[in-house]
Amino acid sequence: MPPLVVFLLAAFLSTAVNHGSGFEVIAAIKSFVLFGGLWAFLAIAPIDEKNIRKWLAYILAIGLIQWLPAIYQYIFVRGKRLAANIGDTTEASDAIVGTFPGSLDAGGLSSVLVLFLILLLSGLLISYRENLLSRKRLSLYLAVLAVPVLLTEVKAIFVYLPLALMIIYGGEFKQRPVAFLALAVGTVAVTATLLFAYNKLHWSGRKDDLSTRIEKLFSYSFEEKLGGIQHRFGYMSRREAVEFWLRQGTPDALAVLAGHGIGSSRTQGLALGHAARQHFPMHIDLTGLSLLLWEVGLIGTGAVIGMLLAGYSAARRLAEKLANPMHKSIANTLQVSFMLYLVSIPYRNDIPYAAPMMFMVMASFGLLGWLNRQTVGSR
């Protein structure tokens, strides 16, 4: 709660001082707090374990049906984008989003879909470790969830998946170093298999060799400056978006510390933010990190990061304290979720723009509150 209060104070101060338009403020509030009621409901309402278990089963069911639309989108939607010259084989795969929002022309939330599926994979592995799931059922679920993960062209998977496995099995290092070493080797093997599959499924149409493809695709985020038609239309690399804020978005101490007001950096939707309008057509809200720096400054950005780190720390403490296998599994899965949300902030602006992402974030904080109430009630 302390970092949440700091964020709200920074957001209120910067918005009040900068006098942004009512439309941009309303649009920003909708993005930030759209699912705040879910957080409050899970954390406060007297929900029993049986209903939480059912709700989580429904969430898993949503993940288990993603393979069907993903296959359709890979064959037909991706094929249509290629026929219409909407990008190469890599960019054409942006429209593989399962049941998540997307469009034929602009792609969609494939990254949020992958993060969601990796959280489900993590929860299943943790449940198996707590003897809540049989090996046969685990294998079936993992195979079904792996299909849409492979069909989506999301480079962040090579960060999300190893990080998730490290959090899940990191405690094995001291207790069983040989098993941990075997896990590390297995993680490398899985990553290599993913690279091979991605090369066949998404990168085969490119004319360069595999090593060049990997170098280009993974170095994009760190390029100092994009050129050509991308730059003329205001596109920047992820590194460049933060550097642009350092050059243009820090005219005084208040802007550095508290930003230009919520909604000020928004370049999408009906409400164009006043800071975005000044720097049009630059996409200053390219990532969650650049967006937060523009809107709530260093204080607000630090507060958001602090909320996620506090959530991770609280989930870790609860996992060590709880004896109930289901509660322990939820706490361990929440550790993975908060860390992946944190890693996603410099990568995409799904926090706070994407409704499915905000649903997951608010649900995670809500479940954390629910778990905490279980420990209080048992004392």
Span 240-261, pLDDT tens digits: 889 999 999 888 898 999 999 9
> How many other C-beta atoms can be found within 10 angstroms of the C-beta atom of residue 307?
21
105-121 pLDDT, tens per residue? Answer: 777 899 999 999 999 99
For residues 376 and 274, the model is more confident at 274
CB 160 within 8 A of CB 340: yes
Half-sphere exposure of 149 (CA within 13 A, CB side): 26
CB 115 within 8 A of CB 157: no
Alpha carbon 329 to chain centroid distance? 21
CB 276 within 8 A of CB 299: no
pTM of the model: 0.90
Per-residue pLDDT at 204: 66
CB-based burial of residue 121 (10 Å sphere; 0-12 exposed, 13-18 middle, 19+ buried)? buried
